[in-house]
Amino acid sequence: MELTIDGKKIKADKGQFLLEVATANGIQIPTLCHHPGVAPWGGCRLCIVEISHPDWPQWWKLVTCCLYPAEDKLVVDTKSEKVMQTRTVILDLLLARCPDSPEIQTLARSYGIEHTTFQPRKDADTCILCGLCVRVCEAVGASAISTMGRGIDKMVDVPYESDDYAACIGCLTCATNCPTNAIPFEETDSARHIWKRDFEVLRCVECGKAIGTPQQLDHYAQKTGLPRSYFDKCDDCQRKEAAKQFKKVVFG
């Protein structure tokens, strides 16, 4: 099918979302909560765009493009006046929630916002409650953290704020994918600390590169069904080993 984004005719496949189509064609749309490894959620609302269609006379609507499927003949405007006004309000609110976040400050500044027009949150952290950390933790299969509470009391923590962080495997997936670096962790050559837990860091048996925690590698072995010894090597050494085996099979 064919649609139009910012005046550009673009081909798309059935099942693709607008954000995916736009990104693949070099059209940049801001987003904080999207990750290609997990299902879209539309939490941050920044990827809002304006859409219309020839079959919708005198009608348009604003949608989050990470969740809206591409349609034949759809007309998409990523920078219309309505879109820019809405994104500005969203960023104004995010800046009020996280006034000290460098990432939010930079993004807000790109839309002409130096200071929020709302009351900044007191004792604010840098979490925008986009939920990406929870979704990637679920994708890994650990499900160690979750969002809880409502309104101003909403937060990310272990379920029921139980102080039981045993489900965390120390993989850092939540922290490294957080768009505002809101999840603190500490790491040395041999240890890692995150979510109130201390972890040993294991190293590749071939090159000595850090590869993860014992809990993390045990979890991967259990989920994949591969022998635990498979995860004793880093990805680079695994690729080298695979290439060596391939040459041996092909060339003898």
For residue 54, give both structure tokens: 């020839």
Q: Which CATH architecture has domain 2-79?
A: Roll (3.10)
Which residues have a Cβ under 8 Å from the Cβ of 143 and sit 6 or more positions away? Answer: 137, 167
Tens digit of pLDDT at every position of the chain (252 positions): 999 999 999 999 999 999 999 999 999 999 999 999 999 999 999 999 999 999 887 789 999 999 999 999 999 999 999 999 999 999 999 999 999 999 999 999 999 999 999 999 999 999 999 999 999 999 999 999 999 888 888 999 987 767 788 999 999 999 999 999 999 999 998 999 999 999 999 999 999 999 999 999 999 999 999 999 999 999 999 999 888 887 777 776
- Write the CB contacts of 119 (distance below 8 Å, at least 6 apart in sequence): 96
State the pLDDT at residue 252.
63
Q: Count the Cβ atoms, other than its own, within 10 Å of residue 45.
A: 20
Domain range summary for the chain, segments of one domain joined by +: 2-79, 131-183, 201-252
- Under 8 Å between Cβ of 107 and 30: yes
- pTM, 2 dp: 0.89
Q: How far apart are CA 199 and CA 218, in angstroms?
A: 13
Pairing state between β 155-157 and 146-148: antiparallel
Contacts of 13 (CB under 8 A, 6+ apart): 1, 70
